[in-house]
Structures are given as structure tokens and as C-alpha cells.
A and B are shown apart, each in its own frame.
Chain A
Amino acid sequence: GENVEQHPSTLSVQEGDSAVIKCTYSDSASNYFPWYKQELGKRPQLIIDIRSNVGEKKDQRIAVTLNKTAKHFSLHITETQPEDSAVYFCAAHEKLTFGTGTRLTIIP
């Protein structure tokens, strides 16, 4: 089945700096790659997604890049703010497999 690996498991960045989280997947048939944000005690919520026919997608301070050949995709958050602190999960949708999560802490 699908195997999704996510790195790093924890990430601390200064407010205003950029944060990058990376995921790799194993199933070349996967064609949908969402990113979810989960704040403490809350439910996961979709923040951005990308389909396999696109290499990059951007939404304000958030962007996702996809390299289908290498089977990896990344989340980029620019100009980080304290409210970006949360756990972020990637997923490769074909097999509905989530990564293990990255706990992002923004240091004021």
C-alpha cells in the first residue's frame, strides 16, 4: 500500500521567516495531495491541496510544490505568524494515507 513519510517531525522558526515541510510517497498512482493543519485540541482542516497535473499551487502565504518523478511534495509557508503554530499533515490521497505530522512552532 501507500507509504507517506513526512519530515521534519518538529520545526521551530522565527516569526517572519519561512517554513518548509517535506513529504515523500510511494504509490505512483497517487494523484491528489492535500495538506491539513491541526491546532491543539481541534480537528484537522485542509489548508491547501494539489493534483498531479500541476507542479505548484499558491494561496497567499502558503504554497505547495509537487515533483511526481521524485514522488515528493512540499509545503512552504512564508512570512510566518504565531497563528501558524500547529501540527501539519500531508497526505497522498490515492490510498488515503497521512504523514506522521510536523509540529510547527513560530517563535515571536
Chain B
Amino acid sequence: DAGVIQSPRHEVTEMGQEVTLRCKPISGHDYLFWYRQTMMRGLELLIYFNNNVPIDDSGMPEDRFSAKMPNASFSTLKIQPSEPRDSAVYFCASSLTSGEQYFGPGTRLTVT
């Protein structure tokens, strides 16, 4: 297995634009997590899914953020409209039941 796959690896966009981050979890894993990492706030859980169903989205900062998981092998995190303060590294992770989480390589987002 190639591990958790994220795309793009880097994204630079202008304020106000829509940004879509993509994640493919490890096959067979039933949990998927989205995290945001910044120097100021550390590693924050944004939302997680179990069997494609969102379980806890209390970490989503505001309505500009949305996440979907249409099937077991794909998830998206969308920011619309983007703002400079959204600049961060966004990690996707997956796990089997509630065990070890395997992180993807991350997407470094820069909003100018």
C-alpha cells in the first residue's frame, strides 16, 4: 500500500479563491481525519469520519471550511473563500478502528 495520499503537496492561491485539498486513505481503514498544523496553534483536529460519516466537526474553524467523504477511498477539504490566516500545512490521516493513525505527507497551503 502506498500509504495515505494527499494532493496537491503545495498550493498557493490568492485570498478569496476556493481551495480544495484531496486525500486518499489507506485501503481498509475506516477512520479518516483532517488536521491543520501551524506554528501558533500546533496540530489541530478539524474533522473526522468513520465509515464515510462525519463524526465530529467541532474543530472546523468556520463555515468557510467544509469536508466530504463520498466513498471509502476519497475525501476533500474545501475552503471557500480562502483567507491568509488559512495558510498552514493540512494533514490527512487514516486508521483502522481507533488505533494508530497514519498521516499523509501533508498539503502546504499559502494564501496571499
Min CB gap A29→B, angstroms: 13
Cross-chain contact B45 with A96 (CB below 8 angstroms): yes
Tell me which residues across on chain A come within 8 A of B91, comparing CB atoms: 43-44
**B14-72, CB < 8 A from A:** 33, 42-45, 48, 56, 58
Min CB gap B39→A, angstroms: 10
Tell me which residues across on chain A come within 8 A of B33, comparing CB atoms: 96
**A68-108, CB < 8 A from B:** 89, 93, 96-101
Q: Mark A1-36, 1 if CB is under 8 A from B, else 0.
A: 100000000000000000000000000000010100
Contact of B104 among A43, A89, A93, A98 (CB under 8 A): A43
Contact of A44 among B43, B44, B56, B58 (CB under 8 A): B43
Min CB gap A4→B, angstroms: 10
Tell me which residues across on chain A come within 8 A of B99, comparing CB atoms: 32
In Å, the complex CA distance between A96 and B45 comes to 7
In Å, the complex CA distance between A49 and B98 comes to 12
Tell me which residues across on chain B come within 8 A of A101, comparing CB atoms: 42-43
Which B positions have Cβ atoms within 8 angstroms of A? 33, 42-45, 48, 56, 58, 91, 98-106
Which A positions have Cβ atoms within 8 angstroms of B? 1, 32, 34, 43-46, 49, 89, 93, 96-101
A-B contact pairs, 15 of them (CB 8 A): A1-B58, A43-B91, A43-B105, A44-B103, A45-B103, A46-B102, A49-B100, A93-B98, A96-B45, A96-B48, A96-B56, A97-B45, A98-B44, A98-B45, A101-B42
